[in-house]
Amino acid sequence: MTAQVLFKNRHPDRIATLAEYRHSGGYEALAKVLADSSRQQVQQVLTDAVLLGRGGAAFPAGVKLSTVAADAPYPRYVVCNADEMEPGTFKDRVLIHADPHQLLEGICLAGFAVDAHEGIIFIRPEYEGAARILEREIALAEKEGLLGQNILGSGFDFDIIVHRSGGRYICGEVTAQLNAIMGRRPNPQQPPPYPTEKGLWDRPTVLQNVETLCCMPHIVRNGADWFKGLARTESGAGTKIFGISGRVRRPGCFELPMGVRLSEIIENHAGGMAEGSRFKACLPGGASTGFLPAEHYDIPMDFESLKQAGNRLGTGAIMVFDHRTCLVGVTLNLMEFFARESCGWCTPCREGLPVIRELLREIEEGRGKPEYVGVLKEMGRHLWNAYCAFAPGAAAPLESLLAHFADEVQEHIERKACPFG
Amino acid sequence: MLPENLKKELQDRIAAVDHPRELVVDVLFALQAHYGFVTDEAVEEAAGLLGMTPMEVDEVATFYTFVYRRPVGKYVIHVCDSVICWLEGGRSLQEYLSQKLSIAPGETTADGLFTLLPVCCIGYCDRAPAMLINKKVYGPLTPETIDQLLDELREAH
Amino acid sequence: MIKLIIDNLRVEVPPGTRVIDAAEQAGIMIPRFCYHPALGAVGACRVCAVQVLEGSCRGIRMSCMIEAEEGMVISTTDEEAVAFRRQVIEWLMANHPHDCPVCDEGGQCLLQDMTVSGGHGRRRLPVKKRTHIDQHLGPLVVHEMNRCIQCYRCVRFYREYAGYTDLGVMGSAGRVYFGRRSDGVLESPFAGNLIDVCPTGVFTDRPSRFKGRYWDFERTPSVCIHCSLGCRVTVNTRYREVVRVEAAHDPQVNGWFICDRGRYGFPYASSPQRPRSARIDGRKSGVDEALDEAARRLSGIAQRHGSGSVALAASGRVCLETLGALTRFGSEKGWRGPFFRAGPRTAEALQSASKNLEEKISISLKDIEKSDFILLVGCDPVNEAPMLALSVRQARRRGAVVALADARSVQLPLDARRLALRPSQLTAALMRFAGKAVADGGAALSDRARGFLQACRDSRVDPAVDEQIDHLGLAARESRRPVVVCGTSAVAPDTPAAAANVARLLAAEGRKAGFFPVLPGANALALGLAGRTADHGAALREALEKGDVRALVVVETNLSELGFSADDPLLENLEALVVCDCLDSAAGRAARVFIPTQTVFEAGGTFVSAEARVREARPAFRGGTPVAQVSGGGHPPRTFSPDIPGADPLPAWQVLAALAREGTRVSADTLRKALPAPLCGAAPGKRLALPASAPDAFQPPEDPATAADGGLEVVVCEHIFGSEPLSRRAACLQELESAPRLGLHPGDAAALQLSAGQRVAVDCGRGVIEGEIEIVNEMARGVLLVPRLRGIDWHAAADGPLVVAVADIRSVKPNGES
Ligand SMILES: Cc1cc2nc3c(=O)[nH]c(=O)nc-3n(C[C@H](O)[C@H](O)[C@H](O)COP(=O)(O)O)c2cc1C
Ligand code: SF4
Ligand code: FES
């Protein structure tokens, strides 16, 4: 078993208690910071630790926090993105269920780092269970003086509330999420201004993913070098929660060093490929990453290596497909998802995705024409000019299908049927 | 008409926040729980409570998957149709449900008990194929577990 | 200035210019759907993509979302940009119905243009088109959602720009739907702009539905004459009929939009009831014969009783040429008048508004948009000068403070601070406000100004409101560009002058302060500048009673505007009533000699708007009965003749020339020159050369506060639909008229023991007004609101805020008995 940091207190059948969390060193980071650190020191250690955002975009968290100007107006907000609606992704849910106080401490630390006094956990409706856990644990933490007014006698106030979403994938996107919280239609809003300058109610707002925030207490407590040392590769830092699903024997969430090889995750942790299955490809980081073909079976799973391979680590949600899986079908299913969840603001996404879906359906159902391949390629390329990152996300699986599995697509068209039946 | 106690409860919650609009989804969920779905009247009531115009509330209400602007059954079955569940046979399970309940996706059974709504990934890919019934998760599913579940719910009724 | 290169052309633009606009200045029209200069950039449609070759954001970018930078190099013809734009069109067309042959937008459809110019012609996509259910949105606008390309312009105009709340966008993804929550009449009186704003045919014009296409129409630049703002419009005519009016762009005045009164007010011009032939003593005659006969009778009367026994009457809807004719021939012949407005109060208010407009404080609607403090006094923008409301809203959106002092419960599409005051309190309130808003007046104040400021400081209104006024005054201290907007119908006669003086005081402090009057009629400012205060309806009444006036020539005027009812017994004292009008009015029917005149669409004409801007309407067609109304409506006509049927009417100024026996060949130019300065120098598009300083500047009002003891001050309220004499004839607008009710404050109603819905008769001395009571919160106490709507005999109170004693109000049964 490799070092367990975020999953240290994870139990298969229950939630870690506040006492357990504190026993394992929980809230020490907060106490330390409140006692003798400055905002800048917290920002610095996170920057030095190269903590890259775990929500998909891999933006350095320390840098983001430091963009809130010292003289920025109040109130300031921290938003925890627990929307997690991308197909294949479920790590944030597991993290909350495993050790909720780790997240609460992380949010509070981020709050301290930007001198915010309110944290908002934005959570999808499917995670009602997690929302209730969080509300319960927030109350507990408040009772013990770990949240709320005058935390640990330091004079620092910080409240956390749980904000329930009505449920739409686009709400995971930063600016759409802020609109959602403000009770507006959750259309994204192109910066500038950036949320760290003008976010919720035009006030500075820092938004981070659940896992990113969960890393913070550990970094603050153990230092940047320790965190970097957790990774298997030079280019990586820390551990990563990999949620693995699809054609493997034991789907689930595993905390592993950043840079662990894909093959190792599948074979050692997910119990290997499912009965009678051979690895064909995977989506390495959620539905908006590209198909990673078998030639990369041994790739080190960190942000940099996947970038080198022309792909993305995204959220680290690995979806494994075997030799019997029709990737045209998979892509069609993904396009179904993207087309349905688009916010409807810009043309490429709102109009392009349904058209792409229909072309793929034609191909999958044996009515494809040879010229559709070119049309799909063109459209995939044009998705990149959408208003926000949603449509480019949808382009990733589509374009990689056409690039790496052109034969499979061709076979559908020639046979006038799906070769996988 | 909203019962006084519910109205009071919502008014208190709204009075406690700086920006009432922040609570629009919560208020809609509360009204949905009361009326069964978000009726036109509920949109107007929510608007009144939150200091928004009915149009502004409807613009939000019609956006979300879990806000129902049309009548639904007592149990709303959100069956996942995204990639991992699909891979694990989700499609045939959905067909099985349709056939068991004699309704097409999007419809409600004649007895008003069940509504079947295919939705995108519900975040339980490790339990695929999965579904939610009134936001409670079930999975991995088989025709047998579905039979059992439906029977239990019918009986509970 | 910023220099950049677009498609190898050097372009220079001010900082902050968007690339899409910079290109347009260089003559390169980058495609756009969602971008609209008035609504801003939102980057939704993605059709304005260009390649940024040099600059801080290289690559494919939306030209509406990026600002021009020094040294930027842009290519609009770049292969990838062109390919992407073509793709956007293909995607949009995938769902757009191919119903151009039956779509009224055809020919002026941005989507059509872009589809053709973008090179998308062949359908390669095997997708079913999405469909929606349309809504019924009322008598003006047709809704066809299937044509929607989701540019969000409609909601951005309707909600953000105009401030109405009943149109929105619902749903998400490919299911977004633009409409109301349910079928129903659009609540905004600016809804017609949806038609212009929508780049395709989702919102089209209902009254002109299927009457022709863009290319079928003769399109003529014109001016709207349905209020005093003078918005620029384009008139579309076909088959001798005005078919549609659209907003025309005027950056200083109406921007890109107009109101629905202006857009739909035109049908009077082609009404089947419109009088097209002359009448002598009730018998139809040729126009020449009638002119002859009228001239003969007038000169006979003049000979018998003196030339002063012939009087002229006019209204705010006569053009500058006609006003010139009235002035010139009137003085040549020694005729009296022209008389206009009902009585001394309204005449004085108009005069004081017009004559106080001077160069330094005169501002445009555009200036109002940029102001940071707006005080509206005795004016109801939406109902009296609709586009003013949108200008005020734009200022409010930019953070301006808006306050309004009025007797009515004025509804605005924005939030404003309110002072409910009786007309008689307004002057004192304005002055008290100025006393607080002006810090020290600066050293530069003249003695007169100082005196006025002192009077302001001494001004008291009512202990109940003084504090509120003071607050407002203090709030205005910070403002850099304060504006006072003042009406003329719900005010005291000296209020407009006081408003101008307040603006002058603020300007004297070195601020960019402005005064903007709201006047009764498209050419009311000209009437105010040209006419004499003494010539009003009440004076005419007196002259008639005394027998001093024996003949009356009524030019394009409804007698009600002079405070007369059509069956007024006094009119029987006349030996000759000559009416020249394009409307079928009660006066026209009572006339001994009636002479039909042309409308602005046929004659054209010049008008001077409330902000002293000279507006020109060109003749849009030659006149005549619409083809649809002759020979059974068939086209081409089944009968042929050398003349245009129904083309007898002449321009009113020619009629006047003929009555004065000057021949009809008089030129419009000479007539304008007959007017006093500054009107004689009126040049289209320019502003009048206003005096640098008004003669009566800083004249403190004689007796500012006159309280209404125990009575109610009567305020005649204009409504956007149903009040203005031309537009109230449009059937489509009649559907939108409010019910005519007499408004009372809840407190007054309670004191009078009246309740909502009860019928009362109010004796105004000159006549009795009867109607149902409506309880109006937010209005001032001590006031009775009388709507200027059909079904109410409002002209009995037409001379502004007269006071009725409580004893004169009695409850009546629906059939009129006490
Ligand atoms: C369409 C879309 C959906 C997204 N959904 C999520 C999400 O569910 N959770 C999340 O943490 N980030 C999501 N992101 C990424 C966020 O925009 C953002 O980058 C992230 O939450 C920032 O936090 P981090 O820096 O800690 O990763 C999404 C982005 C896009 C474009
Ligand atoms: S790409 Fe466009 S339509 Fe899609 S989610 Fe982003 S803004 Fe909305
Ligand atoms: S005009 Fe620029 S995106 Fe629509």
> C348-519 architecture in CATH?
3-Layer(aba) Sandwich (3.40)
Whether A60 is covered by a domain: the verdict is yes
Quote the Cα angle for C222-C225-C226, to 5°: 135
Q: A165 with A300, same domain? A: no
**Tens place of pLDDT for every residue, chain A, 421 residues?**
578 999 999 998 999 999 999 999 999 999 999 999 999 999 999 999 999 999 999 999 999 999 999 999 999 999 999 999 999 999 999 999 999 999 999 999 999 999 999 999 999 999 999 999 999 999 999 999 999 999 999 999 999 999 999 999 999 999 999 999 999 999 999 999 999 999 999 999 999 999 999 999 999 999 999 999 999 999 899 999 999 999 999 999 999 999 999 999 999 999 999 999 999 999 999 999 999 999 999 999 999 999 999 999 999 999 999 999 999 999 999 999 999 999 999 999 999 999 999 999 999 999 999 999 999 999 999 999 999 999 999 999 999 999 999 999 999 999 999 999 8
Per residue in C602-647, pLDDT (tens digit) is 999 999 999 999 999 999 999 999 988 887 767 666 777 788 989 9
Cα–ligand 2 centroid distance for A392 (angstroms)? 9
CB–CB of C176 and A379 under 8 A? no
C712-812 carries CATH number 2.40.40.20: yes
pLDDT for the residue C441: 58
Domain at B75-156, CATH class: alpha beta
Domain(s) labelled CATH 1.10.10 in chain B stretch across 4-63
Q: Which domain holds residue A369?
A: 327-415
Q: A314 with A366, same domain? A: no
User: What SS3 string covers C562-606?
Assistant: HCCCCCCHHHHHCCEEEEEECCCCHHHHHCCEEEEECCHHHHCEE
pLDDT for the residue C641: 79
- Can you state the angle between helices A327-341 and A353-364, rounded to 10 degrees? 150
- Domain parsing of chain C, residue ranges: 2-92, 126-270, 278-341+526-681, 348-519, 712-812
Give the helix ranges, DSSP H, for C96-158: 110-117, 153-155
Q: Which ligand is nearest to the CA of A387?
A: 2
> In a 3-state reduction of DSSP, which class is residue C11?
strand
Single residue among A197, A229, A261 that ends a domain in this structure: A229
Whether A12 is covered by a domain: the verdict is no
Q: What is the CATH number of domain C126-270?
A: 2.20.25.90
Q: Which residues contact B148 (CB under 8 A, 6 or more apart)?
A: none
Q: A331 with A315, same domain? A: no
Say which DSSP state C66 is in: S
Q: A154 with A300, same domain? A: no
CB–CB of C170 and B54 under 8 A? no
Q: Which ligand is nearest to the CA of C84?
A: 3
Say which DSSP state A334 is in: H
Report yes or no: C577 and C355 within 8 Å, Cβ to Cβ. no
pLDDT for the residue C701: 84
> In a 3-state reduction of DSSP, which class is residue B139?
coil
CB–CB of A355 and C169 under 8 A? no
Find the CB nearest B84 among A168, A245, A253.
A245
Closest Cα in chain C to A383 = C84
Q: List the CATH number of the domain containing A108.
A: 3.40.50.11540
Percent of chain C with pLDDT over 70: 97
Q: Which residues contact A270 (CB under 8 A, 6 or more apart)?
A: A244, A248, A249, A250, A251, A252, A254, A320
Per residue in C364-391, pLDDT (tens digit) is 999 999 999 999 999 999 999 999 999 9
Cα–ligand 2 centroid distance for C381 (angstroms)? 39
Q: A62 with A179, same domain? A: yes
Q: A102 with A219, same domain? A: yes
How far A192 CA sits from the closest chain C CA (Å)?
11
Give the helix ranges, DSSP H, for C233-286: 260-264
Per residue in C405-453, pLDDT (tens digit) is 999 999 999 999 999 999 999 999 999 999 999 987 566 788 899 999 9
Using the predicted structure, report yes or no on whether residue C651 has a pLDDT greater than 70.
yes
Whether A2 is covered by a domain: the verdict is no
Q: How many CA atoms lie within 13 A of A331 on its CB side?
A: 35
Q: For strand C310-313 and strand C283-285, is the pairing parallel, antiparallel, or unpaired?
A: unpaired
Q: CA A338 to CA A391: how far, in whole Å?
A: 8
Quote the Cα angle for C156-C157-C162, to 5°: 120
What's the start-to-end Cα distance of chain B, in Å? 26
pLDDT for the residue C817: 53
How far B63 CA sits from the closest chain C CA (Å)?
5
Q: Is some CB atom of chain B closer than 8 A to the CB atom of A341?
A: yes
Q: Which chains touch B (3 or more CB pairs under 8 A)?
A: A, C
Q: A47 with A171, same domain? A: yes
Q: A272 with A339, same domain? A: no
Using the predicted structure, report yes or no on whether residue C814 has a pLDDT greater than 80.
no
Determine whether the shortest distance from the Cβ of A386 to ligand 2 is under 6 A. yes
CB–CB of C173 and A379 under 8 A? no
Q: How many CA atoms lie within 13 A of C766 on its CB side?
A: 23
Whether A5 is covered by a domain: the verdict is no
Q: Which ligand is nearest to the CA of C50?
A: 3
The pLDDT mean for chain C works out to 93
Q: CA C639 to CA C354: how far, in whole Å?
A: 51
How far B2 CA sits from the closest chain C CA (Å)?
21
Q: A297 with A195, same domain? A: no
Cα–ligand 2 centroid distance for A188 (angstroms)? 7
Q: Is some CB atom of chain B closer than 8 A to the CB atom of C183?
A: no
Residue type at C1 in one-letter notation: M
Nearest Cα to Cα of residue A181 among A202, A197, A158, A212: A202
Per residue in C276-326, pLDDT (tens digit) is 999 999 999 999 999 999 999 999 999 999 999 999 999 999 999 999 999
Q: CA B78 to CA B63: how far, in whole Å?
A: 17
Q: What is the CATH number of domain C2-92?
A: 3.10.20.740
Average the pLDDT over C752-776 and give the result.
93
Determine whether the shortest distance from the Cβ of A390 to ligand 2 is under 6 A. yes
Alpha carbon separation from C213 to C204, C218, C262 (Å, rounded): 12, 10, 21
Q: Which atom of ligand 2 is the closest one to the Cα of A345?
A: 3
pLDDT for the residue B144: 95
Q: Which atom of ligand 1 is the closest one to the Cα of A213?
A: 26
Closest Cα in chain C to B53 = C165
Q: How many CB atoms lie within 10 A of CB A286?
A: 27
Whether A3 is covered by a domain: the verdict is no
Report yes or no: C132 and C147 within 8 Å, Cβ to Cβ. no
Domain(s) labelled CATH 3.40.30.10 in chain B stretch across 75-156
Q: CA A332 to CA A355: how far, in whole Å?
A: 11
Q: Is some CB atom of chain B closer than 8 A to the CB atom of A319?
A: yes
Find the CB nearest C87 among A344, A350, A382.
A382
Single residue among A294, A322, A350 that ends a domain in this structure: A322
Beta strands in A158-221 (DSSP E): 159-164, 205-209
Q: Is C348-519's fold the same as C712-812's?
A: no
Per residue in B8-20, pLDDT (tens digit) is 999 999 999 999 9
How far B37 CA sits from the closest chain C CA (Å)?
16
Give the helix ranges, DSSP H, for C243-336: 260-264, 287-305, 320-333
User: For chain A, how many structural domains are there in total?
Assistant: 3
Find the CB nearest A346 among C44, C94, C95.
C44
The third-level CATH classification (topology) of the domain covering C278-341+526-681 is Rossmann fold (3.40.50)
Q: CA A181 to CA C502: how far, in whole Å?
A: 46
Domain at B4-63, CATH class: mainly alpha
Kindly report the length of chain A. 421
Residue C707 banded pLDDT, cuts 50, 70, 90: low
Determine whether the shortest distance from the Cβ of A339 to ligand 2 is under 6 A. no
Per residue in C140-187, pLDDT (tens digit) is 999 999 999 999 999 999 999 999 999 999 999 999 999 999 999 999
Report yes or no: C495 and C376 within 8 Å, Cβ to Cβ. no
Q: For chains A and C, what is the number of CB pairs under 8 angstroms? A: 83
Single residue among A276, A292, A322 that ends a domain in this structure: A322
Q: Is this complex's ipTM strictly greater than 0.85?
A: yes
pLDDT for the residue C642: 85
Report yes or no: B114 and B75 within 8 Å, Cβ to Cβ. yes
Per residue in C478-519, pLDDT (tens digit) is 999 999 999 998 999 999 999 999 999 999 888 999 999 999
Q: Which residues contact C402 (CB under 8 A, 6 or more apart)?
A: C374, C376, C392, C395, C396, C412, C414, C415, C416, C417
